[in-house]
Every structure is written in structure tokens, then in C-alpha cells.
Amino acid sequence: MNFSLKCKICNKSEIKLIKKFKKKNKGENLFGLENKKNYSRSLYACECGHYYNIHKYSKFLEKVYKKNYSNYSHKNIEKKFEKIRKNKKKSSNLKRVNFLEKKIKKNSQVLDVGSGFGIFPFEMVKCGFKMDCIESDRNMINFLKSKFLNLVSNDIKKIKKIKKKYDLITFNKVLEHFNLSEIKKILRLYKSLLKKDGKIYIEVPDSAACKDGYNRQEFFLEHYNIFSLKSLNMFLKKLKFKVVYLNSIYEINKKYTIRAIIK
């Protein structure tokens, strides 16, 4: 695979090979690729703290996201949904709700992009927010509907039919599943759905997780980009967004995460 060794974010430093992976890590989901001969991916890093996952499985993963991601990730969606809801003290989704409650007004119109099985939008509705969802996985779509959550699109890249404007648009652990050029297009596309004072909330895995090694979830196969505080800040400013909040947290589920609010 051809790949420029120059960082596409800071444009100053060359990225360096950190580690090559020939098999799955403990707890990693390879979506069936673990049965493939000559499986391989490479992790590169730049001095700005940004990491790139380089492999040849992007088209394969696109099909997985649309058809059967949930089959690989959740054996029983309802059971997992209820388990998380009941164990509120250990739910990163509920911590996110608590955080955003302090940042936006009640009754705000919110669009959640990549809703999964809907814990976050479900709890936001309970707190008084008006929620719309976007999700591509077929099983997840049916599950969201069963929870009376409003689906406005089944494709992240297709939003022309959406006529609403939103106070807040959320991308929770979604953008890392795209390459940088796609992330640029997605953020610019969704900016058009914001109200005059509307904002975009972003959560992405934090490359600070490297302090605990490279076999962690933050660096798994499906994450094409693992941002640092520095690289995310540079990336967003290059896109002409105003960064109004940027912070790194260690979540209750032991994930290293970056939170950002932009407008």
C-alpha cells in the first residue's frame, strides 16, 4: 500500500513505524479477518502525537459497518442495553450525558451521529433533550426504532434529506473510523446542519493511551486515526472551526479519550 510518510496534520515531521501486527490483540474484534492468511497492519506515529493505522482492509470494514457490525460486537443487544442502563456508575455513556447537560440548554435539538444501540440518545431524551439519530447497521437501526428513537438517516455521508437545524451534533467514538480526508468532509457537511450558535461535540480515542502500550483498544484495527490533544486541535483549526473546549480524560471504563466542542 502506498502511503505518504509525512504527517497529514502537522505537515512537518515524518511518521515512523511503531509496530506491525500479524494477529489480533486480546479483546480485539477483527470481524473475521483473524481467519485470513497473511493478516497484517502497521501502526505509525508522528511527533505531534498522532497515530495512523495502515492496512488494506478499509473496503472490507465499510461492508461490515453497513451489514453486520452488531453481529460481531453485540451478541444480545437488548441484554447489553439494559446491563449498561442498570450499572450507571460504570457507564461512560451516562458520564457523557452528565457532561453535556452542563454545556447545553434543556430542550435543545440534538443529532447523534453513529448512535449504535442508543444508550446515549435514550438517556438524553430522558433528560429532556430532543434527539435524532443516524446509524447504518441494520440490527442497530431496528433496535433504535424499538426504543422509539427517531432515525433521520442510515448513512453518515448522506444528509441532504435532513431539513432540521440542530443546537448540538454529537460524534461519539465515530470519527476515528474514517481517514482524514473523509473526516474533513463529514465535519464540513454537518456544520451546515447547525443553528446559528450550534456546536459539534466530538469524542475520539486519545493517543496518550500509548503509555500503557500499543495493544490497547485505542489502537485497534478499525481506528484509522488516533488523535492527540495537539493533533486534534491543529486538525480542527485547519478546518476553520473554533475550538471552545478540548480536554483529555481517563474514562470510567478505562479508555483514554479526548473530548472537544467546536463551532
Between CA 195 and CA 138 the distance in angstroms is 30
Global confidence as pTM: 0.93
Cell of 47: 511527533
Domain residue extents for the chain:
66-206+230-262
Task: Count other C-beta atoms under 10 Å from residue 65's C-beta.
Answer: 17
What average pLDDT does range 153-171 have in this prediction? 94
Q: Which residues pair with 13 in a beta bridge?
A: none
Between CA 167 and CA 197 the distance in angstroms is 7
Give per-residue pLDDT as tens, 55-73.
999 998 888 877 666 666 6
Give per-residue pLDDT as tens, 142-153.
999 999 999 999
Q: Looking at the predicted structure, is the pLDDT value of residue 154 above 60?
A: yes
- Residue with the bigger pLDDT between 80 and 208: it is 208
Cell of 156: 453518515
Q: Mean pLDDT for the chain? A: 91
Instruction: Identify which of 159, 187, 185 has the alpha carbon closest to the alpha carbon of residue 243.
Output: 187
Dihedral sign from CA coordinates of 193, 233, 7, 258 = negative
Give per-residue pLDDT as tens, 71-104.
666 668 888 888 888 877 778 888 999 999 999 9
Between CA 133 and CA 145 the distance in angstroms is 10
Q: Looking at the predicted structure, is the pLDDT value of residue 220 above 90?
A: yes
Please tell me the least confidently modeled range out of 34-38, 184-188, 218-222: 34-38
Provide DSSP, 22-53.
Answer: SSPPTT---TTGGGSTT--EEEEE-TTS-EEE
pLDDT reported for residue 20: 96
Domain 66-206+230-262 has what CATH class? Answer: alpha beta
Provide DSSP, 202-256.
Answer: EEEEBGGGGGG-SSSGGGSTT-SEEB-HHHHHHHHHHTT--EEEEEEEE-TTS-E
Q: How confident is the model at residue 1 (pLDDT cuts 50, 70, 90)?
A: very low
Q: How confident is the model at residue 247 (pLDDT cuts 50, 70, 90)?
A: very high
**Distances, alpha carbon 170 to alpha carbons 6, 27, 134, 180, 259, in Å:** 30, 27, 10, 18, 11
